[in-house]
Structure 1
Amino acid sequence: MKKFKWFSAMIALTVVLGGCASNANQQPAASGSGEAAKPAPTLTVAYSEGGTTMDPAEANDLTSDTLVLATYDQLVTYGVKTVDGADVANTEDIQPMLAESWEVSDDNKTYTFKIKSGLKFQSGNPVNADAVVYSFDRVAKSSSGSFLYGMADIKSVTAKDDSTVEIVLNKANHMFTQIIAMYTFSIVDQKLVEEKGDDYLKTNAAGSGPFTLEKWDPASEAVFQANNDYWQGAPKLSKVTLKFTKEASNRVLLLNKSDVDMAIEIPPKDVAALQENSNLTIKSNASNRILFFAMNNNVKPFDNEKVRQAINYAIPYDQLINDVMYGQAKEMKSAVASNTPGFTDAGYVYEYNLDKAKELLKEAGYAEGFSFDFTLGSGFDDWEYDAVLIQAELAKIGVKMNINKVARAQFLEQQKEGNLVSYISKWTSFVNDPGYHLGFLLYGKGSSNYIHYNNAEVNKLWEEAGAEPDQAKRNELYMKAQEIITTEAPWAYLYEYNRVVGMNNKVSGYVYYPDEVLRFYPLSKEQ
């Protein structure tokens, strides 16, 4: 039996207990002045959308996920590391949260979690093993989070006593703790929900997190108040307000004028101008959000590997990154993002080379070119610019790309049907692991493998990696799979996005997470 996190939990407990004497998160009274302590500062953030639900098991958009993480905790969480001077989540380093420790059986199938004693939900109800079982059961039965429950491969969740939870997996799964650290697996106040009814969670919070929900109007704003009784210590912010501002230009204006403290989803074209404002800090982090040109491997001529490779040689990569993304992206050289553990660019030989593209088309039997339909989903300016640039380059090698622009909802519906000939799409892997990423997109049975790529060797490598407990050996298997995929070119790799967040210089504590969701608890602001 392997034991985890006793030492770090003891340190955390020591810090919390020590903080009882002088909490670093609280403003002390002014010495000798008789003045009351200043209240903690407030934070205002410009968001694009207002969110759709407060229910952790059903949240699946950026704003809803943010609402959940402000008000709930999970059994475990991710560590933090510094990369190139920036704080980023270390998804390989799983740290205690509501669970102070856990043990793993020798066959890596049974996890026994010990919940910290004395924890309470914001209602005052105790955080206990029954609440964990209840919360996981809700995820299993949900319409949104159930796929993650399945990916975690959970067989059973049992309360062994009031503070002990046993989770048994169907088979060993190296991604398990990474998955349950996600907002989907937030621990819900069972007693409160049973009292109020399950629909209560759609618009209200029932968590133990650092902030309480004061108001949520998806058309205007969400307001959170600090949970001063939070078990990790009161937040450094007394209030957080999310201003829902759909137009990107308005978010940029609000940030530039210091009418908000932070803004997300900043257009690449505005980054340079914002960087000229000495009152602002613009965080531009490499993300694992990728953009690719997908080709249906079941449809002629994209069932021909040489044709797909030819398309890769006709992509104007530098133009896409510099002219469309204004440098706020980097070249993509694998189906897996470059900041994912186990990444390799083996097999990547592509560059903008129309002569090579023509040569490959000739070898494939398409010396005179061909015509194909391309479906463009609306809603993203860069997709449209990319499509037009690629269309122009393909025309130079005799390939006619017929662009059909459709509404975002229609595009997503058509994409899921799996009949689109070609399209541009993006993907963010919330679990920063090749198994998660490839399992959805390029494994033969992957639920998001809409281009029908199916390579028996890749499938076998993915399955073997999933059962391999040794990370180094596992990564070797994933790397072999990536090399095969890159060589066979089911996609043309376009770029990896940067995650751009703008903030006033008074704001500190920002940490980048692969799911791109802001965590407010680490943030602080100078008065």
Structure 2
Amino acid sequence: MKRFTSISLALVLALSVGLAGCGKPDAAGAGGQQGSGQAKEKVLTIARSGDILGFDVHNHGFTSTESVHVNMFNYLVKRDREGKFQPDLAVSWENVNPTTWRFKLRPGVKFQNGDPFTAADVKFSLERVAQDAKLVENGNYKQIKEVKVVDDLTADVITHEAEPVLLSRLSRLGSSMLPSKYIQEKGWDEFLKKPVGTGPYKFSEWIRDDRVVLVKNDDYFGEKGKWDKLVFRSIPEEATRVSELLTDGVDIAVQIPPTDMKRINNVNSTQTISGPTTRVMLLSLRTTSGPTADPRVREAIDLAINKKAIIDSLFEGDGKETLTPIIPGIFGAKPDLFGKSNYNPERAKQLLKEAGLESGLTISFTGSVGKSLKDKETSELIAAMLEEVGIKVKMEILEPSKFNEKRNAGTTGDMFLVAYSNSMFDAALLYKRLKPDTGYNNPEVMKLLSDAEKNMNAQEREKQFQQVQDILAKDRPQIPLLQLGANYGINKRIEFTPRIDEITYADEIILK
């Protein structure tokens, strides 16, 4: 398996072109063409580690759910593989003044129920996510003050203050366009049961914890879908995903364990593909109550963890130690915090003694299984490392949906493990969950983040984010562990090139 290292975003995206598999098409199995003659149906089946959270595009924040949504819905703006902004539902845009962006909308677009897409839908969609504080993505869109409808095909997005990354916000999860007329007439509950978007594929069925099925939208405004049907299967167990791939049950399997890569590559019909990601695995620690409120305990936890051992034993060397969640290639990165670890178990024991805890302490630790690659095993290995320095761990391992519920409700243990990706390619995104997840409220940090959010001077803004990282590296409300790569198993009947943002656009996957 090719060793993954962190490189700049532009280079990563350019290099990813050569990663696709090769082989002869096969009419049997999950993918390819089913049926006979002219009636053959092209079906793409993808095995994922968990189910979607639902069809509320503003209320999830998870790449795995967005990978289904992007095939049904559209943004105003999208990013290509080189990270450049491209038209989607907006054909052009301009920054009229620091707080006003004008978008010209694509004419002739219809939602999948036949309703026309207009500026009224832009207003409805963006004002909903910007104004409803209960929505998960509200923190990434509350910068929007209002949307003014200039005419049916022109919308002005007005922000409270200068907004340097509005295009980035409008090209990622949380900014999909919703059908205002349909929702206002039928109600939100009906939309969630029968979701409607403008994308190349439309909803067919959702069997919870089993599969989501989409079918081609023949009225799509752009190039028609390459597949007749998309099937997103929920298979939490790694071994079962691999087995389904090897027995022709699925075309793509995500989160392939490094230990299974060789076995997949030794089968004539399958192969593995690895690609870089923006995802960083880290620990979030409660800073307002419990034992982790003591900064000495947080430091001891950090020093007790051998990150290299985690990378070598669980990921076969594919990963990169880090003291920051902002990796090189993301705006605001501080490279001298990347590729490093603070591992020092003897100092960890000394810190606990200084805190009067030399006789030991117990912390509660919430982990997940199937939410990210080797998350359960990583949690268990960390727990063992903490035990070695005298920290007893009360472990709770949850399925992704239960984990998400507890995290969003703020009822996780003293510490939890999570793997953050950065769909905005900007440091601002990752810090939106800092206070909700940890309770951390350092006034200096909060001011730096607030100032950076509205600073139109890129150089100053970058320095503000770097200052934040220096402070957080000492305060440790989060303990970054490692940058993750992504391993996929694919059937050789398809061509598939992973994206660094880990989003699955079905029409970027080709049946050969």
TM-score (norm 1): 0.78
User: Higher Cα Rg: structure 1 or 2?
Assistant: 1
Contact 1:187 1:207 in 2 (8 A): yes
Matched, 1:248 2:238: yes
Inter-CA distance 470–249: structure 2 relative to 1 (3 Å threshold): same
SS of corresponding position for 1:199 = helix
1:18 equivalent in structure 2 = none
The residue identity in structure 1 corresponding to 2:446 is: N
- The residue correspondences of 1:396-411 to structure 2 (distance < 5 A) are 396-397=388-389, 399-405=390-396, 407=398, 409=402
Q: Give the Cα separation in 2 of the matches to 1:355 and 1:59.
A: 41
SS for the counterpart of 1:70 is: coil
Which amino acid in 2 is paired with 1:53? G
* Equivalent-residue separation in structure 1 for 2:260 and 2:126 (angstroms): 42
Please tell me whether residue 44 in structure 1 is matched to residue 45 in structure 2: yes
Q: Is the CA contact 2:291–2:414 (under 8 Å) kept in the aligned structure 1? A: no
- The 8 Å contact of residues 51 and 62 in structure 1, kept in 2 or not, is answered as no
Q: 1:79: which partner in 2?
A: 80
For 1:314, the equivalent position in structure 2 comes to 304
Rounded to whole Å, the distance in 1 between the matches of 2:280 and 2:347 is 25
Q: How does 1:19-418 map to 2 (within 5 A)?
A: 41-60=42-61, 64-81=65-82, 90=83, 93-106=84-97, 108-140=98-130, 145=135, 147-148=137-138, 151-298=141-288, 302=292, 305-346=295-336, 350-358=341-349, 364=354, 368=358, 370-379=360-369, 382-397=374-389, 399-405=390-396, 407=398, 409=402, 413=406, 416-417=409-410
CA distance in structure 2 between the aligned counterparts of 1:440 and 1:59, rounded to whole angstroms? 13
Task: Describe the shift of the 1:238–1:405 C-alpha distance in structure 2 as closer, same or farther (beyond 3 A).
Answer: closer
**Is the CA contact (8 Å cut-off) linking 1:70 and 1:519 kept in structure 2?**
yes
Q: CA deviation at 1:161?
A: 0.8
Q: Does 1:520 align with 2:506?
A: yes
CA deviations on 1:193-220 (whole Å, 9 max, x unpaired) are 4454433311223222111223333354
Q: State the alpha-carbon separation in 1 of the partners of residues 355 and 132 from structure 2.
A: 49
Report percent identity of matched pairs. Answer: 23
Q: 1-side partners of 2:472 and 2:105: how far apart?
A: 43
Provide the secondary structure at the position in 1 that maps to 2:241.
Answer: helix
Matched, 1:479 2:469: no
Give secondary structure in 2 for the equivalent of 1:327: coil
> Structure 2 vs 1, CA of residues 413 and 79 (structure 1 numbering), >3 Å: closer, same or farther?
same
Query: Match of 1:184, SS?
Result: coil
Aligned counterparts of 1:59 and 1:487: Cα–Cα separation in 2: 30
Which stretch shows the higher mean deviation, 504-513 or 57-66?
Answer: 57-66
Identify which of structures 1 and 2 has the higher relative contact order when contacts are C-alpha pairs closer than 8 Å and 6+ apart. 2
Letter aligned with residue 58 of structure 2: A
Residue in structure 1 matched with residue 442 of structure 2 by the alignment: 455
8 Å CA contact retained: 1:45, 1:260: yes
Q: What SS is found at the alignment partner of 2:507?
A: coil
The one-letter code matched in structure 1 to 2:462 is N
Per-residue CA distance 1:68-106 (angstroms, 9 max, x = gap): 22122121111212xxxxxxxx2xx32211111111123
Name the CA distance, whole Å, in 1 between partners of 2:209 and 2:404.
25
Give unpaired runs (5+ residues) of structure 2: 1-36
Equivalent in the alignment of 2:414: 421
| Secondary structure, aligned partner of 1:439 | helix
Q: Matched residue of 1:120: which SS?
A: coil
Deviation at 1:519, TM superposition (A): 1.3
Distance in 2 (CA, whole Å) between partners of 1:212 and 1:272 is: 37
Q: CA separation in 1, counterparts of 2:366 and 2:258?
A: 20
- Paired residue secondary structure (1:469): coil
1:436 to 2:429 alignment = yes
Match of 1:508 in 2: 495
Q: For the structure 1 residues 132 and 388, does the alpha-carbon distance in structure 2 shift closer, same or farther, using more than 3 Å as the test?
A: closer
Following the alignment from structure 2 to structure 1, what is the Cα–Cα distance between the partners of residues 386 and 207?
46
Match for residue 22 of structure 2?
Answer: none
* Contact 2:60/2:137 (<8 A) preserved: no
Figure out how many residues of one structure are paired with residues of the other and give that number.
471
Secondary structure of 2:366's aligned partner = strand
5+ residue gaps, structure 1:
1-35, 82-89
Distance 1:230 1:419 in 2: 42
Cα displacement (A) at 1:250: 2.0
- The answer to whether the 8 Å contact 2:48/2:235 transfers is yes
Give distance in 1, aligned partners of 2:291 and 2:212. 49
**In 2, Cα distance between equivalents of 1:525 and 1:459:** 49
8 Å Cα contact 2:68/2:504 also seen in 1: no
**Aligned residue for 2:475?**
488
Partners in 2 of 1:206 and 1:417 — Cα distance? 32
SS in 2 for 1:131: helix
**Alpha-carbon distance in structure 1 between the residues aligned to 2:42 and 2:53:** 28
Residues 509, 523 of structure 1: 8 Å contact kept: yes
Letter in 2 for 1:287: T
Say what the alpha-carbon RMSD is for the aligned residues: 3.3
TM-score by length of 2: 0.81
Shift of 1:495: 2.0
